[in-house]
Amino acid sequence: MKRQIRIGEGYALSKHKLNQFNMRYISLLTVLTIMCLYAQGQVSDGASVPVPNGQLTVPEGGVIIGDELPEAFWGLKLKVVNHPEGRDSITLRDYKSSKLLVLDFWASWCKPCVISVNKWEEKLDSIPEMSFVPVHMDFEEKALPFILKRGWRSPSVVGEERKLLNKLFFQKSRITRSVWILDGRFVAVTGYNGPDAATILDVIYSGRSIPSLPEGLYSPLY
């Protein structure tokens, strides 16, 4: 004997299925939300996750003394030579844990530049709280042979991103200049006659300020 389903019963059945669907949908959204939050935490903690090149936006006039460097600066993928582990790229986030990070813009034909890099290299052993990354502003193929000849240990940035870094700190292309980044903040620009190790340690631990060179004294690159 066939059972007849009244209209009201049919509606109740459809409503029950709809509730089941809603519960499954909500559960799925919950799982996806948890997965996204977990993934975001992993990315935040991962020191080697690079920012795609082109996402570092240089503000008009560049950054100024006292500015905190943006996250895109630390995540920018940079091509390097002379890395102690043989790597061909880095991000500056690899050095963010250092109290002081120094970027030195140099070229092999520039005698004051070479003097500057030599001085910073000599200070590395006596100042473990400092990281030093030279940025080579000349043709890439000139960098490594010159570095090996001088016996320098630090990885040097080469490639197109060197121009982006230079533009971030200077209104015009400059060399023979060392950019000081203390606790993630841009604090000074000095020339090749930089301070001694004792003064650098004083800056790191006491917050002593370093007089920066005025823009007019920066050495033009071209």
Q: Is 115 exposed, middle or buried (0-12, 13-18, 19+ CB in 10 A)?
A: middle
Q: Residue 19's pLDDT is what?
A: 62
CA 57, CA 75: separation in Å to the nearest integer?
A: 12
Report which of 101, 99, 104, 102 is spatially closest to residue 114, judged by C-alpha positions: 104
pLDDT tens digit at each of 222 positions of the chain: 555 545 444 444 455 555 665 566 556 555 444 444 443 343 333 333 454 555 788 888 889 999 999 999 999 999 999 999 999 999 999 999 999 999 999 999 999 999 999 999 999 999 999 999 999 999 999 999 999 999 999 999 999 999 999 999 998 889 999 999 999 999 999 998 888 899 899 999 987 887 776 654 444 333
CA 110, CA 200: separation in Å to the nearest integer?
A: 24
CA 122, CA 23: separation in Å to the nearest integer?
A: 66
Which pTM does this prediction carry?
0.73
Residues forming beta bridges with residue 133, ordered by sequence position: 103
